[in-house]
Amino acid sequence: RPLESYLPSELMKLSHATGYGCQISELTPAAVAEIRSRNILLGVYTITTEEEFDQAVERGARVLVCETPFIHTSPRMVGFTEG
């Protein structure tokens, strides 16, 4: 079975993970629904635009990995630090 067909909780179980990390493009409606229903800690990486940042937050991401420094100046990022 291809990895892309697994739901976040299935991948977490296989890898003994405590959270789920992916790119914004991998957050299908089914994945987002399961993440919300199971209260899974979600991280989104390779965020390169403010639009992707907003999408990740709207979909429940609590960990955000941004590629470009300009995003760190966004008013929505108050309290976030680079490092």
Per-residue pLDDT 10s for the chain (83 aa) are: 898 899 999 999 999 999 999 999 999 999 999 999 999 999 999 998 888 988 999 999 999 888 776 555 566 665 555 55
* 25-64 core/surface letters (b: 16 or more CB in 10 A; e: else): eebeeebeebbeeeebebebeebeebebbebbeebebeeb
Number of H helices, E strands in the chain: 3, 3
Q: Tokens standing for 10?
A: 């299935």
Q: Give the per-residue pLDDT at 48.
A: 87
Q: Looking at the whole model, is its pTM more than 0.85?
A: no
Q: Give the per-residue pLDDT at 38.
A: 96
Q: Is 18 helix (H, G, I), strand (E, B) or coil?
A: coil
How far apart are alpha carbons 83 and 3 in whole angstroms?
31
